[in-house]
Structure 1
Amino acid sequence: MKAGSAQLTLLFSCLGHAYMHLFTAFYFVIALTLEVEWSMPNHELIKLWALGSLLVGIAALPAGWLGDRWSTPGMMTVYFIGLGLSGILCGLVSTTSALLLGLTSIGLFSAIYHPVGIAWLVRSVKTKRGMALAVNGIFGSLGVASAGLVAGLLIDAISWRAAFILPGVICLITGLALFAALRLGWIAEGDGEQENDPPPSRNDMVRVYAILLLTMAVMGLMFHATQASLPKVFDLRLRDLAGEGAFGIGLLVATVYTVGGLMQLAGGWLADRYSLKLIYLGAFAFQIPVMALLASAGATPLIALAILTVLLSSAALPAENMLLARYTPQRHRSLAYGVKFVLAFAIANPAILLASWVEGRTGEFAWLYGLMAAAAAAAALVTLFLPNKRSQPSMAVPAE
């Protein structure tokens, strides 16, 4: 792949990651305004996103299949244009049924990014894969962080409709720019990555996949439950600090995900140098007390703990992606990433419904964070059984 093409691939992959997380996060802040304008409780509004969040997961596998057999940059073009139009649609609706349709469309097109965009990036990376994935991951974290900030600012300055429409227009323009770059020949499909490591043993692959299925499910459960609940937690516990309106809450959420998400860069640096197992295990082990304390914390400790839980999740992601790549043959890697993101985002549906149920029953989220602490403990326990390092074959395999 030519240097210019690789740089553009990195640019569009990173923008795609930011947009994906922005579009799948900003509704939780918008819903706070719709509570008043549509006279609906927050937990009922959150349910409108449940089907879309489910599609983000289950549609990832066919999206990855199409990317492998048709074109990864072509699928990315479909992603940008479809997601942008879906956002615009959500900003034009006036009924819950129409909003449900628009949010479901956001979920469907969002499903394209991870199996296609990450595989597209990995294919172009020859060295320091952990750092490249970390940079890409930071854009995803910034997408989550900017979701609250952008939505809150646009709601207070214009309306909740603008919080959907303006990001949709920007995403649509990005898709048209990618389409133009493809037509001009500035971006190529990629020539594949170099495989310098020996293939994993079948026993190691089975063991790692079995463990990662559980840990990735827990990681997704914690991420989506926290993302769904945090704006309302801040609204309930920090309203004096946040002030009136949606912007203050959005700013707090943005701060949490920006500061916490930047830790992914350190996670990538560590993953290129140290044991992936220890990095992954440590992230889950530290989540146990953090989630337990989140259940009842208020004021400044609440903000610090929210940053810590995002920080730990972000730092673990490069190690998780590298473990998946290390124990997957290259010819099946897109499929493996597709399975990962089917699991990671399919779990969003029960996570959101769980957050909605807990709030509806208790008016708060203490039970939710207690359950997340227990889930983190289970994940830390099974992570102990990951291989310490790749088993080496008896005969050396020369690098290509």
Structure 2
Amino acid sequence: MNGDDRRTVAVASFAHGLVHTYELTIPLLIPLWMSTFSADAATIGVVVTVGYGLFGVGALPSGILADRYDTRTLIAASAVGMGAGFGLLAFAPNLLVLTVGLLLWGGAASIYHPTGLSLLSRTVSERGRGLAVHGVAGNLGTAMGPLAVSVLLADLYWRYVAALLVVPGVLIGALTLVVHTDPTGREEVEREDGFRTDLSMASFLSSSKRLFERGFYVIFLLVVLEGLFYRGVLTFLPDVFETAAGSGAVFSGLLRDMSGYLYSGLLLVGVVGQYVGGWLVDRTDPVRGLILVFLCLAAVSTAFATVAADGSWSLVPLSVLLGVFLFGEQPLMQATVADHSSSDTRGLSYGYTYAGVFGIGALGATLAGYVLTRASVASLFAVLATVAVAAAVVSAYLRGRHDGSANTSVSLFNN
């Protein structure tokens, strides 16, 4: 890569890591919010769903913005907006202001993925290498950001930590604007057949209709189930670990103090899962891999339901397995979306994917909060196991549907 490419990849990578740092720091703050605002899990679950939901649903309009406006400016606005959202969280006197802060974060965060991927795909000459570095940065933000926050929370009040998180958003926003990158190709949005993309609402509706007529509704159902499981399991996981630590003599004391680090460690081993998932994409049918991974997630969730109430140390290896399978599923899903969408609707298919996983999937936070309030940790993981089994069934249906009409599918998805 030349100098401009390296700078472009660096700018996008820093912003990508920041998005996931903020996203997965929120679960660490949830137990503290419940205590500060005297709120139960069901109430906090609804509040968090609002922010996470906008993070996903906003991906579709953000994709349209990325095709019309300077992407560096949009990335800068995203970074600063996310920092401002956490600044509002730091000073929130009540749940209403906390909700507004999460909305500000979610709206700003929703800008990044369509915009950052658009910037890289249009301007970096070695696109594959650029996307790989970008993905690694996201994984590092997912793992190392919450770990750093866990360390800070051990010594600082949560409001101070939230205020400190304003700083990286402002710095990365400023860095994005001042670092020179080559803007070539950003102004013209081209189809693969060489014609300029029509960004009208009529074109959007027409492309959406064409996408779903080709069977994308099955994929969309699958990514929604993925999102429900992902958000349902991660949102209250630090609180789940604390609850488990207090429920049994085996898992108490030292391990209770380590609950935040256990959550961060789960995210860290997710990097390994991402690598393994990518390795499987190149060696097997991605849908077959999805069936296997969702069944494994169902098994791990069932095991969690069995041992969580006893506060057993077996939660540690189970957390490792959960991290590997949870994040190992993502490359398989991304490959599946690409395999089951045509070239002229590829970008739109990923827009719907993000809206399904992070938008509708945000309801997993509400679901988890409700179950934890009305029932128990074991009940939550039993529900999550059911969601994972449903995803495995839909994956099996997708594979059978594709195998049963292979010739037709080839003609449809390659035209």
CA–CA distance in structure 2, aligned partners of residues 62 and 210 of structure 1: 20
In structure 2, the partner of 1:35 is 34
State the shift of 1:293 in Å.
1.4
CA–CA distance in structure 2, aligned partners of residues 73 and 188 of structure 1: 12
In structure 1, the partner of 2:296 is 286
Residue pair 1:30, 1:163 contacting (<8 A) in 2 also: no
State the shift of 1:203 in Å.
10
> Secondary structure of the equivalent of 2:39?
coil
Residue pair 2:139, 2:271 contacting (<8 A) in 1 also: yes
> Secondary structure of the equivalent of 2:313?
helix
- Is residue 343 of structure 1 aligned with residue 348 of structure 2? no
Tell me which of 226, 229, 235 is aligned to 2:236. Answer: 229
Q: How many residues align?
A: 386
In structure 1, the partner of 2:326 is 313
Residue pair 1:204, 1:327 contacting (<8 A) in 2 also: no
Residue pair 1:290, 1:309 contacting (<8 A) in 2 also: yes
In structure 1, the partner of 2:168 is 170
CA–CA distance in structure 2, aligned partners of residues 296 and 108 of structure 1: 38
Deviation digits for residues 282-339 of structure 1 (CA, Å, limit 9, x no counterpart): 2222222112112122433222222222312322212222332344344433322211
- Is residue 300 of structure 1 aligned with residue 298 of structure 2? no
- Is residue 254 of structure 1 aligned with residue 261 of structure 2? no
CA–CA distance in structure 1, aligned partners of residues 324 and 130 of structure 2: 18
Alignment of 1:194-213 (within 5 A): 206=213, 209-213=216-220
In structure 1, the partner of 2:152 is 154
Unaligned segments of structure 1, at least 5 residues = 197-201
Residue pair 2:44, 2:369 contacting (<8 A) in 1 also: no
State the shift of 1:341 in Å.
0.8
Residue pair 2:123, 2:183 contacting (<8 A) in 1 also: no
- Is residue 145 of structure 1 aligned with residue 134 of structure 2? no
CA–CA distance in structure 2, aligned partners of residues 33 and 282 of structure 1: 36
State the shift of 1:187 in Å.
5.8
TM normalised by structure 1 equals: 0.84
- Is residue 322 of structure 1 aligned with residue 329 of structure 2? no
For the structure 1 residues 167 and 114, does the alpha-carbon distance in structure 2 shift closer, same or farther, using more than 3 Å as the test?
A: same
> Secondary structure of the equivalent of 2:24?
coil
CA–CA distance in structure 2, aligned partners of residues 249 and 236 of structure 1: 10
For the structure 1 residues 193 and 314, does the alpha-carbon distance in structure 2 shift closer, same or farther, using more than 3 Å as the test?
A: farther
For the structure 1 residues 91 and 250, does the alpha-carbon distance in structure 2 shift closer, same or farther, using more than 3 Å as the test?
A: same
Alignment of 1:1-400 (within 5 A): 3-123=2-122, 129=128, 136-181=134-179, 184-186=180-182, 188=184, 206=213, 209-239=216-246, 243=253, 248-298=258-308, 299-362=312-375, 364-384=376-396, 385-386=398-399, 387=402
Residue pair 2:49, 2:365 contacting (<8 A) in 1 also: yes
Residue pair 1:28, 1:46 contacting (<8 A) in 2 also: no
Deviation digits for residues 43-75 of structure 1 (CA, Å, limit 9, x no counterpart): 433432221112112211111110012233332
TM normalised by structure 2 equals: 0.81
State the shift of 1:115 in Å.
2.3
Residue pair 2:123, 2:184 contacting (<8 A) in 1 also: no
Residue pair 1:128, 1:272 contacting (<8 A) in 2 also: no
Which ranges of 4 or more aligned residues in structure 1 deviate by more than 6 Å? Answer: 125-128, 190-196, 202-205, 244-247
Deviation digits for residues 264-287 of structure 1 (CA, Å, limit 9, x no counterpart): 022223323432222222222222
CA–CA distance in structure 2, aligned partners of residues 273 and 128 of structure 1: 22
**Paired-residue identity, %:** 25
For the structure 1 residues 333 and 165, does the alpha-carbon distance in structure 2 shift closer, same or farther, using more than 3 Å as the test?
A: farther
For the structure 1 residues 150 and 82, does the alpha-carbon distance in structure 2 shift closer, same or farther, using more than 3 Å as the test?
A: same
State the shift of 1:16 in Å.
2.5
State the shift of 1:124 in Å.
5.8
- Alignment root-mean-square deviation, CA: 3.3
Residue pair 1:56, 1:111 contacting (<8 A) in 2 also: yes
For the structure 1 residues 285 and 76, does the alpha-carbon distance in structure 2 shift closer, same or farther, using more than 3 Å as the test?
A: same
Matched residue type, 1:163: V
> Which sits farther off after the overlay, 298-307 or 36-45?
36-45
CA–CA distance in structure 1, aligned partners of residues 257 and 279 of structure 2: 34
State the shift of 1:105 in Å.
0.6
State the shift of 1:361 in Å.
0.7
For the structure 1 residues 377 and 37, does the alpha-carbon distance in structure 2 shift closer, same or farther, using more than 3 Å as the test?
A: closer
CA–CA distance in structure 1, aligned partners of residues 277 and 122 of structure 2: 21
Unaligned segments of structure 2, at least 5 residues = 194-208
Deviation digits for residues 166-209 of structure 1 (CA, Å, limit 9, x no counterpart): 2221121011101112xx3456556999979xxxxx99985551
State the shift of 1:244 in Å.
7.2
State the shift of 1:157 in Å.
1.8
